[in-house]
Structure 1
């Protein structure tokens, strides 16, 4: 297993990546975890390394053994520059992670305001339900601290047409979750959007 390209990607060494590719290194080579060099560059948010690999034809949707792809990982972690590159090079907006969620769901949960805006604009489905029975809106409520970033994300999701009454698998709505957590700003947004 030739991991020189993976090592150069991890180090963010764009010049070494160019040289290895020129010498015939496989852009889609996999390491023991199934990760491509592009996914390794994405893990470290090595933007220039990612750019070189993407321009050389690296697949932005290639998943590793735990169902992470460069596109999904960049979205979940808020790696904006790499996310934008993946979106410009064929990111599959319908692809899902190991929880059955789109990139928008973990981005919402983790409070990545700008990432959420980019993914909504790109056309990721706002009401996608993951295997846990949660939408981006539900995760922005139940897995957050209810602070300013999550308030902004809830507003973005509501403005994008998210179904404010779409309940989780237990029949609990975003409004009920927000109320039980005492998230008054989120509660107000949901009520104004017609949540019941």
Structure 2
């Protein structure tokens, strides 16, 4: 019984408790300076404020820097302006997310590529689960983001504090559909280790077979998993 409760917590409750939180309407209404400029995508204002000595990494009540706000708003011009004027591209907000993981969860491939171009590290440990942007994207089946993170050098076999790799999350937390199939294929073709088990010794292939995810099981099996 306890094992069932724990599984329910890991798969359902925990992700909701620690989900990313974009700026609320109230947050945005209270923004000024760089946070407001980042939200609105006003690159000229960002450069002007930076030149006048504004704190490029100032925090709002949730620990979001202007760079986080730009990522949540998908404002690429604002993010580039912040990076060019010296903002910390690897800052973590209160829920331990960086720009790259925010973009990965939002399924924003262009922002993902831009963040890495501007210095956001794809190997950064993020979230309360000690994961990575790649694990977050794989969990959600964001396969184009997964491909871009892999191309950018994201670690394929990082194990988070739940005991799961990106491949494991794509199977265990995925729905077995075409998006997660493409995600698994991208990870496997890039050389992800298909044999790393969870804490109970169950491999991604075994999880896929148990869930009836035949296409995913075939992809893993063909890779030698």
TM normalised by structure 2 equals 0.81
CA contact (8 A) 2:80 2:118 kept: no
| 1:34 corresponds to which of 49, 60, 63 | 63
Instruction: Give the C-alpha shift of residue 3 in structure 1.
Output: 4.1
Q: Which moved further from structure 2: 17-26 or 154-163?
A: 17-26
- Shift, 1:90, TM fit: 2.1
Q: Is 1:44 the counterpart of 2:73 in the alignment? A: yes
Q: Give the secondary-structure state (helix, strand or coil) at the position aligned to 1:65.
A: coil
Superposition misfits of 4+ residues, deviation over 6 angstroms: none
Can you give the 5+ residue segments of structure 2 that lack an aligned partner in the other structure? Answer: 1-29
Question: Once superposed, what is the RMSD of the aligned Cα atoms?
Answer: 1.7
Q: Is the 8 A contact 2:158 2:166 kept in 1?
A: yes
Please say if 1:115 is aligned against 2:145.
yes
2:53 to 13, 24, 28: 24
CA distance in structure 2 between the aligned counterparts of 1:22 and 1:6, rounded to whole angstroms = 15
Q: What displacement does 1:140 show?
A: 0.6
Equivalenced residue count is 195
Cα contact 1:164–1:194 (8 A) shared by 2: yes
Match of 2:84 in 1: 55
Match of 2:134 in 1: 104
Query: Is the contact made by 2:39 and 2:69 (CA closer than 8 Å) also made in structure 1?
Result: yes
What corresponds to 2:27 in structure 1? none
Could you tell me which residue of structure 1 aligns to residue 180 of structure 2? Answer: 150
Structure 2 distance, partners of 1:170, 1:67, is 27
Give the equivalent residue in structure 1 for 2:34.
5
After TM superposition, the score normalised by the length of structure 1 is 0.92
Say whether residues 1:127 and 2:157 are aligned partners: yes
Moved more, 166-175 or 2-11: 2-11
User: 1:2 deviation in Å?
Assistant: 8.0
1:186 aligns with 2:216: yes
Contact 1:76 1:104 in 2 (8 A): no
1:137 positional shift: 0.4
Please say if residues 72 and 96 of structure 1, whose CA atoms lie closer than 8 Å, have aligned partners that are also in contact: no
